[in-house]
């Protein structure tokens, strides 16, 4: 499909492409959802690939400040790095690319993305 093609640069998603942090993210969000009285199983699929503030605002929960909740969730996610794993082969592949020719794009805040990538490389 891409044989013989040339690319100027590559953009990669973080979760599921470079690292797997699904378990950590879902632990934090499940705790938050339970505190809000939400159906955790129905709610968790809505969190992936969307900024926390947007996920919370979309719910329009009475008395819930999306900015404050997103900040609290970020702190909780920064504190929970258990089980964050590298995607097999991703680090070697990225190392084979010129560093100025690729980037990771993610809905995660930069601080969280860097922490999760570092956590995955320590395993």
Tell me, yes or no, if 15 is annotated catalytic: yes
Strands 19-20 and 10-13: unpaired
- Backbone region of residue 37 per phi and psi (left: phi > 0; alpha: psi in -120 to 50; beta: other values): left
Which positions are catalytic? 13, 15
């Amino acid at each position: 499909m891409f044989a013989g093609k040339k690319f100027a640069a590559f953009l990669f998603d973080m979760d599921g492409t470079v690292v797997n942090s699904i378990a950590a993210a879902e632990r934090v969000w499940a705790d938050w959802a339970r505190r809000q009285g939400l159906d955790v199983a129905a709610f968790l699929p809505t969190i992936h690939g969307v900024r926390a503030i947007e996920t919370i605002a979309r719910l329009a929960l009475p008395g819930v400040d999306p900015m404050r909740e997103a900040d609290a969730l970020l702190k909780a996610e920064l504190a929970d790095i258990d089980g964050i794993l590298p995607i097999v082969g991703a680090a070697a592949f990225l190392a084979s690319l010129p560093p100025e020719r690729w980037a990771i794009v993610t809905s995660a805040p930069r601080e969280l993305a860097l922490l999760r990538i570092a956590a995955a490389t320590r395993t």
